[in-house]
Chain A
């Protein structure tokens, strides 16, 4: 045994190492199962999968890519949060500051934005794949419903983030997108039956979204909190349900 092997053995046999890692990389059937079941992250998978399930042709990997996009936005988003203040006077200046003065600021911002767009596209493709393989059929009906809520959340995450740069693009896109709410039947002041319900410009569905009758600093704070805390939290909770269900029901496939 040479010197390096000896050091390696000492490390692997040390109590510290053994307290963290329970087994090595031996390629035995037993160890292959342990690899998955003994790891909190990997055990989101079952320890064995149907042969077709790992083929790119079947899943297009789109659920996984959607999840990866979510993770990228979480990591880059934390970095952006360090430098960004959701206050009308500062928000835009902070974007410039981030772009020009912070190390990797522009890169982090770009990755955050492109991953958000990519997540929307990936989640559509994922839904399309699940539809095409008929994977919403029993017993996976409920997971499809959870998926639809995740789809809506993905759009809401993206939409609330859109406002935060506080530039012309963002406030007008959000204004146009939210204006629909004032036309909600009964709940919007320009919608059908508004007088009957007694809503007005500062007290209706759009005012609930804006935090007032017009888009403004209050909207910025509201969207920031929804974007950075509320929607990510709800999305995470539903992702747990989504993944748990896939684990329980197994990936769909042709009947044996």
Chain B
């Protein structure tokens, strides 16, 4: 009923103006009707349709436009983009084969870390502070360096045994997230001189050592194989300034 009254009012208004102007207005309206969807599409505008102006249709074009720009972007986990930037993530949740060995740091799901959503942090714990540089809650920085090109890639070598490697090779029993949590824990305790810790300065770098209540990994490499891979309860962290050089479990 209301729409019918509006249309009658529009027709009456057209009757009151000169024929020439009425024709121009009608042509303009037809042009708008034909071009409105295309203009919206081309320029990303949100011009309302005539139908919505008259009241036949709800203006939905605006909400349709917002979807691709906002929802899709925010739904993409930030860590994914960081992962590709840093190109350091090979595997994070694999290598469960040795989970028989109890870990001092229980595996923490991403949801449990901090107040921020897990997607905001790399490996669920690190914050990007610069190009390819990530900081842990304890203030340790993981950046470019080492033979592998990035310190995270380097310490990742200690998530797996290298049975052919001469000498000792400490292997952490857990994923990258649990490893980073353990490194932070060891560093924080050793830095403050906690019980069962050591701090050894060495020509520009510092070696921090800390004991854990339970095994955190096992001894790998050729030497570890010879000794039947004994469990390890200590972690050694080598830093230069606050930048991590390497970290691994040791005997």
Same complex for A and B? Answer no
